[in-house]
Amino acid sequence: MCGIAGILNLSLDPAAHLDRLEAMSARLVHRGPDSHGAFTLPHLGLAIRRLSIIDLETGDQPLSNETGEVTLVFNGEIYNYRELRKKLLDRGHRFKTRSDGEVIAHLYEERGPDFVRELNGMFAIALWDNRAKRLVLARDRAGEKPLYYWRRGTTLAFASEIKALFEYPDVSRAPDFDALTSYFFYGYFPAPASAFREIRKLPAAHRMVVEGGEFRIEQYWRLLDFWRTAGGPPAASFREEEVVEELRGRIREAARSRLVSDVPLGVFLSGGVDSSTLAALMSELTPQGGAVNSFSVSFREKSFNEEPNAEQVAKHFHTRHHSVDASEAALRESLLTLAGLLDEPLADPAVLPTHLMSGFARREIKVAFSGEGSDELFGGYPTYLGAKLAAYYLRLPGFLRRQFFERLARHLPVSSSAVPGGLFLRRFFAHAERKPAERHLIWFGMFAPAELEVLFSPGWPAPKGASAGIFAPLKRVLEGAHFDDVVAEMLFLDFRLYLEDNLLVKTDRASMACSLELRSPYLDHRLVEFAAGLPSSVRLRGFELKSLMKKAVEKWLPPPIVYRQKRGFSVPIADWMRGEWRPLVDSTLAAEKLKRQGLFDTGTVRGLLNEHWAGRADNRKTLWTLLTFQLWFDRWVERN
């Protein structure tokens, strides 16, 4: 795991070129503190900060082929590198290292830019072909590893994180207020947008080829090509026993392939079905003589605390278990630390315990397994049940919905628990009549479209208006797709948006801030492709979340673990913003400050705060989105 950066500038002075590249690389040292390297030509520079995981002695980057005509730096891991290496050796290639990265250079010799199709892994790659004068940038299929770029004319700068790009003198920090408008809806930035007007991110499963002064961005893998779409074989033709056995084998193989490492590994363990499955497989597949290290977070608030579940799993599989206390003070420190590390606001409070646990785990290990991807593939979110319930709800007469259920929603109790039923039900009733995909995003999201219309002041600089265009990423992702049912559409949408641009951003930034590598076996593209071809009714039977996944892992886990109610990685921010964190929230969102900046309607923001503090409403989502934006804006925009 590493941080990479580079510059391609056909008119750049070579001396200045080296200074800029070194400064860009230095901003990524947290991603790779073990070594650094660079490759430079008069008009090209590639730089790397390395976190050594595989081939500790000879695997330093940049890496080249035998002739030196192909040179690359990359961030990530190639899990099938041993198989690829053997085939390449059989075909006459010669290797200088035992690293996974050198395989990429030799694959490129044979396949050109299509080399990326052969890789099973998580990666962001920058490769220079000196003979063809061609630069290739590529990101993995799910988007586990980030890659941002800035372009002006024939000049291109790119890096693993935005902060490195700011070391290039021409890069502006001007915010992209259209993208920021979307942020207040989604809570993240759907690709290819970033928080900054001039900076874009290469989308997952895409490559950029720069050759002869031309820039091409191409998609090399499409989830839609494997997804079960309308008109496929009937669900009844999928025999459950065969599907379960196939799924079990693919999960096991995905975990086995990700055990390749020359440093200690562990697992982030919540006690839920996803992480418990990984703990079970690691315990089985790890060589005899060493217990698996497992790590969890403990909250003092009972409804948020999954530590007893994690301890139960740890005892069952005899892991070497470690738990860290996620107190208000500890997570407040993480919040302020991440405000300086996150180049974009991120409205997912789970980034805080992920960062806390990453720093805690880094004392023992360099690599940890994490369960991202399973919920999106196998139906783990209550909103999927909401989509099914909405079909029944909408069959009721309109007057009954308005006179009874919508009135009922106004009287639901305010809760600060990990699963705030009142908040979910209010959103359900308020938006059930919308188009299914839009409704799903509103249920999942931060501010609803109508709330956006009163949030911003007249001085908000987005030219499109408060809520215009917020569904554009949805339309882009669903273009040309037709699904068997609403749940299949929601699963696809969450994989392409919520997973790619929220969850994987969260896990990458939080872990790499602590120089820890996280691996997600459920994102093995072979497993993803298999799951994508299954009807949603096979993956999620009736009203039981992840029914297929649970059936597959029953063989490895005790029933109480398999069928435990899902809680999610929640943080008690609702109560904390009323208590110990209230002074921070109040000062960060102070009316005088907001008036001076002229971005938000101060009356709307103060109303949200007063409602929440008085306990009349649960505004945790909207207030957290505002708080994380303002901490980012203070640090990355206003201060500069």
What amino acid positions are annotated as catalytic residues?
2
β-strand partners of 71:
64, 128
Q: In sequence order, what are the beta bridge partners of 157?
A: 7, 150
Residues 223/495, Cβ–Cβ less than 8 Å: yes
Phi, psi of 425 (to 5 degrees): -70, -35
Quote the Cα angle for 202-123-77, to 5°.
175
Locate 629 and state its tokens. 């934006």
Longest CA–CA span in the chain (Å) reads 76
460: its two tokens: 């908000």
Per residue, the 3-state secondary structure of 84-124, as one string, reads HHHHHHHCCCCCCCCCCHHHHHHHHHHHHHHHHHHCCEEEE
From edge to edge, which strands make up the β-sheet containing 265-268? Answer: 320-325, 293-298, 265-268, 367-369, 517-519
Q: 239: left (phi > 0), else alpha (psi -120 to 50), else beta?
A: beta
In sequence order, the β-bridge partners of residue 139 are 124
Beta-bridged to residue 2, according to DSSP, are 50
Burial (CB < 10 A; 0-12, 13-18, 19+), residue 33, is middle
Q: What residue ranges in 246-350 does DSSP mark as E strands?
A: 265-268, 293-298, 320-325
DSSP state of 417: S
Here the tokens at position 470 are 């917020």
| Spatial contact of 36 and 50, defined as CB atoms under 8 Å apart | yes
User: What CA–CA distance (Å, rounded) separates 121 from 81?
Assistant: 9
Edge-to-edge strand ranges of the sheet holding 35-41: 35-41, 44-50, 2-9, 155-159, 148-152, 199-201
Q: Which residues pair with 521 in a beta bridge?
A: none
- Residue 628 has phi, psi (to 5 degrees) of -70, -35
How many whole angstroms separate alpha carbon 19 and alpha carbon 24? 9
Structure tokens at 22: 């070194």
Element (H, E) at 594: helix 591-597
Pick from 307, 257, 335, 323: nearest CA to 100: 257
Rounded to the nearest 10 degrees, how much is the dihedral formed by the CA atoms of 102, 107, 110, 113?
A: -110
Tokens representing 19? Answer: 């200074």
∠ CA 110-112-115, rounded to 5°:
80
Query: 70-78 and 121-129: which strand pairing?
Result: antiparallel
CA–CA distance, 105 with 238 (Å, rounded to integer): 41
| Nearest CA-CA partner of 474 in 217, 186, 207 | 186
Region of 412 on the Ramachandran plot (φ > 0 left; ψ -120 to 50 alpha; else beta): beta
Task: Quote the CA–CA distance of 113 and 104 in Å, as a whole number.
Answer: 10
SS3 350: coil
